[in-house]
């Protein structure tokens, strides 16, 4: 969940590159940050609690920065999301060994760190932090016999858990050694400079040529060379990929927050997600990434979708689509639950892992469990080259562009659009007629415009949101296709505004939660004109009878609803299977404006990280 960046080369100012990389990675974790550079044969390290800005101020004020640090050409840096030990300067990375010969940054969790630590203390090492990470740097120095590869290989053989690490050493100038297991590491190849990071966001401004490491790869990096070996110290070759990213996409471009920018990018993001996938001549979608012939597709008799958080809600939408369009029994499972419950999978079961980052630990574990049980495993991911995409080898990219705001927005709507196309494909492979296929395709094509119409009403949604910004509790209720949207709306509100919000099936309200309704507990009722609306009107009355203020989402032209609710957010008319997308956009805006009114840290909410690489 932390962010790592390292640089070696003389083309750019090393410290500036490290700080720039940290700023771009800050969304991964942000309770403390630090850098270490090789300067005049020594390691100089500066750390600070808080955001990267604080670290930058500290570096500017430090005496060392005017001399040695400024001239450094090799260094590593880290932005932390605390797992072991409070967010203090001592616990911030980089961590050093006793003699100050090695400095290390780490992303992941070392499960056997207590045993390692006790053993290392017995051997005379002194620990200065409460972190699990510090054990790795002592271990490397303990294993070091003059060869960095050998030292890191020996150290990681003793480690249980997950790691992406980058290490510098006074004994090896102009060199960074990096390795991974379970946490991503990507190396950017420049011209006489090399960058290593946990995430492409820190690299793409400098180079688009990258290498993704596999688990248990160790890479020795210098400005002009990248030497990759496996854990047995045997050279391995890894493909160089070219990354097609618009760097402007990783800037705020005039918006107050990345989240708002990403909400507004949705029409374009969804257009990119569906681009080239809809084929009029066959009245279906072309999803060559699935790598399934029509015959193989027709043999699939069950779909299981595994995901976490917002991606889980997108998966719930998928369950409706696959069953409605393709008569294909589908179930959605929280990825951690899937991996530990010993799922029943048959050779004709297809498991779809959904993940924006492609790095979520539980979703990755679900992929591995499904793979070893012999299922057909595919992924729907946004981040190109991420671990889940590489381990599934079949799947569909969202092409939503980088999502920096911690709260997922455009990835969700693109995931839903991709699943619509997948369900269409399976549907046409089974029972949908050509005409029905064409109709669904046309509706999918209209989605970017539907979303745009909702975005045009942002000022009105802001006014509604401001009226509810003082609430302490909130309910979101929906039915059918709008049930997962209610869950997602509640998740968005709670994570960025810190208002306690619960998403419920409208019918479930009576089975307990209704006890909580009173005049200061508002209800967001998703009452669009799709199947279930009539029942929803009844549920709204039940809420009003308990004095709860009700905000409704409703289909444009529905004037009747105005009489029974306090506020209405209008959504353009579309069939039930696409209505969920513009509706979620309205809820994203609602949450954003509530959080803004409350003065919350919208892009980096407390306690959260963008990529959850721990269980």
174, burial (CB in 10 Å: exposed 0-12, middle 13-18, buried 19+): middle
Residue 588 touching ligand F6R (CB under 6 A): no
Size of the site for ligand F6R (CB under 6 A): 15
For strand 550-555 and strand 523-526, is the pairing parallel, antiparallel, or unpaired?
Answer: parallel
| C-alpha distance from residue 527 to each of 201, 448, 460, 565, 585 (Å) | 39, 21, 18, 11, 15
Residue 603 touching ligand F6R (CB under 6 A): no
Contact set for ligand F6R, span 333-372 (CB under 6 A): 355-357, 360, 363
Nearer to ligand F6R, 357 or 555 (CB): 357
Nearer to ligand F6R, 151 or 364 (CB): 364
Shortest Cβ distance from residue 36 to ligand F6R (Å)? 29
Nearer to ligand F6R, 407 or 441 (CB): 407
Catalytic residue among 425, 492, 494, 610, which? Answer: 610
Residue 585 touching ligand F6R (CB under 6 A): no
Rounded CA-CA distance 187/199 in Å is 9
Nearer to ligand F6R, 394 or 576 (CB): 394
Shortest Cβ distance from residue 321 to ligand F6R (Å)? 18
Contact set for ligand F6R, span 402-441 (CB under 6 A): 407-408
Residue 107 touching ligand F6R (CB under 6 A): no
Shortest Cβ distance from residue 356 to ligand F6R (Å)? 4
Shortest Cβ distance from residue 32 to ligand F6R (Å)? 21
Q: What is the 3-state secondary structure (H, E, C) of 113-155?
A: HHHHHHHHHHCCCCCCCCCCCHHHHHHHHHHCCCCHHHHHHHH
Residue 309 touching ligand F6R (CB under 6 A): yes
Which region holds residue 383: left if phi is over 0, alpha if psi is between -120 and 50, else beta?
A: beta
Long-range contacts of 119-128 (CB under 8 A, 24+ apart): 124/98, 125/97, 125/98, 126/98, 128/90, 128/95
- Number of residue whose CB is nearest ligand F6R: 309
Rounded CA-CA distance 268/410 in Å is 10
Helices and strands in the chain: count of H runs, count of E runs: 20, 26
Rounded CA-CA distance 325/483 in Å is 18
Residue 602 touching ligand F6R (CB under 6 A): no
Nearer to ligand F6R, 335 or 458 (CB): 335
Q: Residues 8, 311, 349, 591: which binds ligand F6R (CB under 6 A)?
A: 311
Binding pattern for the stretch 479-498 against ligand F6R, x by CB under 6 A and - elsewhere: ------------x---x---
Nearer to ligand F6R, 148 or 197 (CB): 197
Shortest Cβ distance from residue 238 to ligand F6R (Å)? 23
Shortest Cβ distance from residue 495 to ligand F6R (Å)? 6
For strand 284-285 and strand 278-279, is the pairing parallel, antiparallel, or unpaired?
Answer: antiparallel
Is there a catalytic annotation at residue 610?
A: yes
Scored b (16 or more CB within 10 A) or e, 457-477 reads bbeebbebbeebeebeebbbb
Binding region for ligand F6R (CB under 6 A) out of 14-22, 253-261, 307-315, 434-442: 307-315
Binding region for ligand F6R (CB under 6 A) out of 143-151, 253-261, 309-317, 571-579: 309-317
Rounded CA-CA distance 89/106 in Å is 15
Mention every residue, 6+ apart, whose C-beta is less than 8 A from residue 583. Answer: 482, 485, 526, 528, 553, 571
Catalytic residue among 2, 308, 414, 600, which? Answer: 2
Rounded CA-CA distance 257/269 in Å is 17
Which region holds residue 522: left if phi is over 0, alpha if psi is between -120 and 50, else beta?
A: beta
Shortest Cβ distance from residue 80 to ligand F6R (Å)? 18
Decide: 352 and 379 in contact? Cβ < 8 Å. yes
Nearer to ligand F6R, 8 or 408 (CB): 408
Q: In what order do the strands lie in the sheet with 95-96?
A: 95-96, 102-107, 163-169, 172-181, 218-222, 225-229
Residue 129 touching ligand F6R (CB under 6 A): no
Q: Residues 1, 25, 308, 345: which binds ligand F6R (CB under 6 A)?
A: 308
Binding region for ligand F6R (CB under 6 A) out of 134-142, 190-198, 304-312, 561-569: 304-312
Rounded CA-CA distance 171/397 in Å is 42
Rounded CA-CA distance 497/509 in Å is 23
Nearer to ligand F6R, 56 or 613 (CB): 613
Is there a catalytic annotation at residue 597?
A: no
Q: Residues 310, 457, 591, 604: which binds ligand F6R (CB under 6 A)?
A: 310
Shortest Cβ distance from residue 259 to ligand F6R (Å)? 9
Evaluated on CA atoms 603, 609, 611, 612, the torsion sign reads: negative
Shortest Cβ distance from residue 610 to ligand F6R (Å)? 7
Q: Supply the residues annotated as catalytic.
A: 2, 610
Residues binding ligand F6R (CB under 6 A) = 308-311, 355-357, 360, 363, 407-408, 491, 495, 611-612
């Amino acid at each position: 969940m932390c962010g790592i960046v390292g640089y070696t080369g003389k083309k750019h100012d090393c410290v500036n590159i490290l700080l720039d990389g940290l700023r771009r990675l800050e969304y991964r974790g942000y309770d403390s940050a630090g850098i270490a550079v090789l300067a005049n044969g020594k390691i100089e390290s500066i750390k600070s609690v808080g955001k990267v800005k604080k670290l930058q101020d500290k570096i500017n004020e430090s005496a060392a920065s005017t001399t040695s640090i400024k001239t450094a050409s090799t260094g590593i840096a880290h932005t932390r999301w605390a797992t072991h030990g409070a967010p203090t300067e001592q616990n911030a990375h980089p961590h050093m060994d006793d003699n100050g010969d090695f400095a290390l940054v780490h992303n992941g969790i070392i499960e056997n760190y207590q045993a390692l630590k006790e053993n290392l203390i017995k051997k005379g090492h002194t620990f200065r932090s409460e972190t699990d990470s510090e054990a790795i740097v002592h271990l490397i120095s303990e294993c070091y016999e003059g060869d960095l590869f050998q030292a890191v290989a020996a150290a990681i053989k003793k480690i249980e858990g997950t790691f992406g690490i980058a290490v510098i050493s006074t004994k090896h100038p102009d060199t960074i050694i990096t390795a991974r297991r379970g946490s991503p590491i990507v190396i950017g190849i420049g011209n006489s400079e090399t960058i290593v990071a946990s995430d492409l966001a820190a690299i793409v401004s400098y180079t688009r040529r990258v290498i993704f490491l596999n688990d248990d790869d160790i890479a020795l990096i210098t400005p002009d060379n990248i030497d990759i070996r496996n854990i047995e110290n045997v050279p391995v070759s890894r493909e160089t990929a070219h990354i097609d990213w618009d760097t402007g996409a990783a800037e705020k471009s005039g918006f107050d927050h990345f989240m708002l920018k990403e909400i507004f990018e949705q029409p374009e993001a969804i257009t990119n997600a569906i681009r080239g996938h809809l084929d009029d001549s066959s009245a279906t979608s072309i999803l060559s990434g699935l790598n399934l012939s029509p015959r193989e597709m027709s043999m699939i008799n069950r779909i299981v979708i595994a995901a976490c958080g917002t991606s889980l809600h997108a998966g719930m939408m998928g369950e409706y689509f696959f069953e409605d369009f393709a008569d294909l029994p589908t179930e959605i499972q929280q990825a951690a639950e899937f991996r530990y419950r010993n799922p029943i999978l048959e050779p004709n079961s297809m498991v779809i892992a959904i993940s924006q980052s492609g790095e979520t630990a539980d979703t990755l574990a679900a992929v591995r469990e499904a793979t070893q049980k012999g299922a057909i495993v595919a992924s729907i991911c946004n981040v190109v080259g991420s671990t889940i995409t590489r381990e599934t080898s079949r799947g569909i990219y969202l092409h939503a562009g980088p999502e920096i705001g911690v709260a997922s927005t455009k990835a969700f709507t693109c995931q839903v659009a991709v699943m619509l196309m997948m369900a269409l494909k399976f549907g046409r492979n089974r029972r949908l007629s050509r005409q029905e296929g064409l109709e669904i395709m046309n509706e999918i094509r209209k989605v970017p415009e539907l979303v745009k119409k909702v975005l045009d009403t942002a000022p009105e949604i802001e006014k509604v949101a401001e009226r509810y910004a003082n609430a302490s509790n909130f309910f979101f209720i929906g039915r059918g296709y709008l049930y997962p949207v209610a869950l997602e709306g509640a998740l968005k509100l709670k994570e960025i505004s810190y208002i306690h919000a619960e998403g419920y099936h409208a019918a479930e309200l009576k089975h307990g939660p209704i006890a909580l309704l009173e005049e200061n507990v508002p209800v967001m009722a998703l009452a669009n004109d799709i199947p279930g609306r009539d029942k929803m009107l009844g549920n709204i009355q039940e809420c009003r009878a308990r004095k709860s203020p009700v905000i409704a989402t409703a289909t444009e032209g529905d004037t009747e609803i105005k009489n029974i609710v306090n506020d209405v957010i209008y959504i353009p008319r579309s069939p039930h299977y696409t209505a969920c997308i513009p509706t979620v956009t309205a809820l994203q805006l609602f949450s954003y404006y509530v959080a803004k009114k409350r003065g919350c840290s919208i892009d980096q909410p407390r306690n959260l990280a963008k990529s959850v690489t721990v269980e």
